[in-house]
């Protein structure tokens, strides 16, 4: 299945970049990327920008979300080694 960010040269994959499975996988990666950006930026909401943010504030914000993006990233990393 062809799910690269840029198209392959002379792509001879059985399922090309326009296949529904490829589009689905790339859409899931896109949604995950947006979620990661929001999740990682959530602790920096502007309330303490002038004096900076402490580690406790950042960790407590991520803890409120059960470190979800960390777990999702770990699962994706493990899956990338399996396939």
Q: Summarize pLDDT for 10-33 with one digit per residue, the tens.
A: 767 676 667 787 788 888 888 988
| Closest CA relative to residue 68, chosen from 31, 44, 45, 39 | 39
The Cα-based distances of 62 to 9, 35, 43 in angstroms read 41, 13, 8
In a domain, 54, yes or no: yes
pLDDT of residue 27: 87
* pLDDT grade for 55, boundaries at 50, 70 and 90: confident
pLDDT of residue 66: 93
In a domain, 74, yes or no: yes
In a domain, 6, yes or no: no
CA 43 to chain centroid, in Å, comes to 17
Query: Into how many domains does the chain fold?
Result: 1
């Amino acid at each position: 299945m062809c799910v690269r960010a840029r198209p392959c040269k002379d792509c001879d994959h059985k399922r090309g970049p326009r296949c529904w499975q490829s589009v689905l996988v790339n859409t899931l990666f896109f949604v995950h990327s947006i979620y990661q950006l929001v999740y990682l930026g959530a602790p920096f909401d502007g309330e303490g920008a002038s004096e900076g943010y402490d580690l406790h504030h950042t960790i407590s914000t991520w803890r409120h979300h059960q470190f979800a993006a960390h777990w999702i990233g770990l699962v994706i990393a493990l899956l990338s080694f399996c396939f």
